[in-house]
């Protein structure tokens, strides 16, 4: 299965990533990606970009060297109601938002609290993807999460970095297999993303692919295989 888009990639603007936007574009081109999404951390993450960075992303061309460029944010969930660190007026200029739980921005909660936070974030019309819902330090009710994702038309992410042996996230492989099983059961698509913090990892799905194959997950439910369909879905839903 060809995975032709990656919309969770960071640049130096995130504060703890190591490549420029242009270096990421070159990485995407070398890996044969058709769509690259830049999603730097929201301003609540220590060291990340100030809000002016996101407001000024309109200057970035929509296509660079034949690669379609999407402008997003990995927003930080900051409370158990699903509030994020980006205001609606600042999200309007972006193509999408990923919403994620990060320990510098929200404490580890109970299964009920963490699930409530992610489901609450899905209620934001700009949030189209839930980032790395796969860390055992943030236990989740995956049945409820997948049902809510389907009801909200939001994608759950299969995060390649979470699955790295060097990742600080815990038991991500178990979580990803659970997400795949339940998403297939409920006939709801998923998205694979690299969560690249350096250009060499853009479009790297080396840890996700074996789990997709092992699970026998339907190709038609992996949005990375259909970039045009993903772009149409994104345009029809963001901010609506």
Q: In the prediction, which pLDDT does 53 show?
A: 98
Q: Are 37 and 227 in contact (CB under 8 A)?
A: no
The number of residues making up the chain comes to: 240
Task: Set out the domains of the chain in order of their start, with CATH numbers.
Answer: 5-237 (3.20.20.140)
Of the candidates 162, 85, 159, 172, which has an alpha carbon nearest to the alpha carbon of residue 124?
A: 85
Q: Decide if pLDDT at 203 tops 70.
A: yes
Q: In the prediction, which pLDDT does 95 show?
A: 97
d(CA 196, CA 189): 22
d(CA 230, CA 50): 29
Q: In the prediction, which pLDDT does 116 show?
A: 98
Of the candidates 139, 134, 174, 141, which has an alpha carbon nearest to the alpha carbon of residue 158?
A: 134
Mean pLDDT of 26-41: 98
Q: In the prediction, which pLDDT does 6 show?
A: 98
- Helix orientation angle between 111-122 and 142-152, rounded to the nearest 10 degrees: 10
DSSP 94: S
Mean pLDDT of the chain: 97
Helix, strand and coil percent figures for the chain, each rounded to 5: 35, 20, 45
Q: Decide if pLDDT at 31 tops 80.
A: yes
- Per residue in 49-58, pLDDT (tens digit) is 999 999 999 9
Q: In the prediction, which pLDDT does 239 show?
A: 56
User: Which residues of the chain form beta strands (DSSP E)?
Assistant: 5-9, 35-41, 63-64, 67-76, 96-100, 127-130, 155-159, 190-193
Q: Decide if pLDDT at 157 tops 90.
A: yes
- Per residue in 54-79, pLDDT (tens digit) is 999 999 999 999 999 999 999 999 99
Q: In the prediction, which pLDDT does 144 show?
A: 98
pTM for the whole structure: 0.96
- Per residue in 118-139, pLDDT (tens digit) is 999 999 999 999 999 999 999 9
Q: What is the three-class DSSP state of 181? A: helix
d(CA 117, CA 37): 24
Q: Decide if pLDDT at 150 tops 80.
A: yes
Residue with tokens 């609506």: 240
101-128 burial code (b ≥16 CB/10 A, e <16)? bbeebbeebeeeebbbbbbbbbebebbb
Mean pLDDT of 198-215: 98
Of the candidates 122, 134, 230, which has an alpha carbon nearest to the alpha carbon of residue 176?
A: 134
- Per residue in 217-239, pLDDT (tens digit) is 999 999 999 999 999 999 998 65
Mean pLDDT of 183-212: 98
Q: Decide if pLDDT at 240 tops 70.
A: no
């Amino acid at each position: 299965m060809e995975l032709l888009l990656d919309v969770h990639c960071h640049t130096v603007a995130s504060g703890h990533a190591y490549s420029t936007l242009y270096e990421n574009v070159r990485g995407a081109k070398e890996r044969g990606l058709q769509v690259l999404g830049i999603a730097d951390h929201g301003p609540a993450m220590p060291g990340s970009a100030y809000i002016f960075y996101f407001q000024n992303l309109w200057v970035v061309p929509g296509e660079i060297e034949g690669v379609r460029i999407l402008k997003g944010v990995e927003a930080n969930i900051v409370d158990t109601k699903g509030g994020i660190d980006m205001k609606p007026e600042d999200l309007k200029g972006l193509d999408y938002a990923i919403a994620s739980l990060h320990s510098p921005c929200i404490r580890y909660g109970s299964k009920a609290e963490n699930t409530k936070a992610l489901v609450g974030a899905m209620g934001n019309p700009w949030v189209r993807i839930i980032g790395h819902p796969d860390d055992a330090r943030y236990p989740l009710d995956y049945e409820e999460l997948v049902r809510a994702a389907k009801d909200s038309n939001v994608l759950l992410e299969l995060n390649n970095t979470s699955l790295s042996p060097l990742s600080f996230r815990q038991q991500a492989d178990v979580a990803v297999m659970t997400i795949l099983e339940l998403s297939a059961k409920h006939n709801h698509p998923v998205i694979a993303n690299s969560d690249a913090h350096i250009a060499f990892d853009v479009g790297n799905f080396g840890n996700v692919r074996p789990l997709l194959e092992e699970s026998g997950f339907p190709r038609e439910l992996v949005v990375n295989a259909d970039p045009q369909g993903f772009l149409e879905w994104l345009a029809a839903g963001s901010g609506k």
